[in-house]
Amino acid sequence: MNKYNYLSIILILVSFIFSIYDTFIYPRKNKYDDYFPEHKDKSLFKKIIWYLSQFTYQKQLIFLFYFYLKFKNYKNLERFLKIIAPPMMIINLFYFKYLFPNYTKQCSEKNYKLYELSFYDIFPHLLDTFIIILELSSLSSYKFNDIHLPIYFQLMMLISVIINYKIRKVWSYNIVDLKQKSTYKMLIEFLIYNYIVAYVIYKIKKK
């Protein structure tokens, strides 16, 4: 662990604390996504299920866990990074391609612009990409077979969507609806981007 790692942990932790506050403490009335804290999601259990179904929050928790493993000198840390890095980068990309436009369209209070995003929004959806890239640069190797490792993260994301729907009867983000064809197109696009990113990492590390 170096100074950069500790700075990364602090930034991710601050973002994580903000997300916890926004979900479990701040008394908001959110009518433009799949979260209903004033009626449907009053219980702590359902709030936790909602929180864990959000890909950005999953990413933050897993990234914190990654640095915890790094602090403990976990011997399979590089394999873990190969599993999580490509999906985490694509989650950031999809936020700006799908979630942010959907958010601004459904939010009746204000037509948000990208430059108006706060640290709470901009860090977990953009700035942590640079931390991911820097961590990837420390990999000692990246074999062709490693390109398939992100499937474990992708399966976790899919399972979280299904659990969220079974318990709360709401599809994640009101977008990831497994009963709609458009969702499967988006999933295929997500997989393709993942393989592209993983292949690019492979080619760079191969040099």
Q: Which residue has the tokens 């299904």?
A: 162
Residue-wise pLDDT for 143-154, tens only, equals 999 999 999 999
CA distance 112 to 30: 15
Provide the pLDDT for residue 117. 63
Residue-wise pLDDT for 84-119, tens only, equals 999 999 999 998 888 877 766 665 555 566 555 666
Provide the pLDDT for residue 116. 59
CA distance 23 to 127: 21
More confident call, 114 vs 43: 43
The stretch 167-178 carries a mean pLDDT of 91
Does the structure show a pLDDT above 90 at 189? yes
Does the structure show a pLDDT above 90 at 202? yes
Does the structure show a pLDDT above 60 at 44? yes
Token pair listed for 60 = 């933050």
Q: Considering the entire predicted model, what is its pTM?
A: 0.88
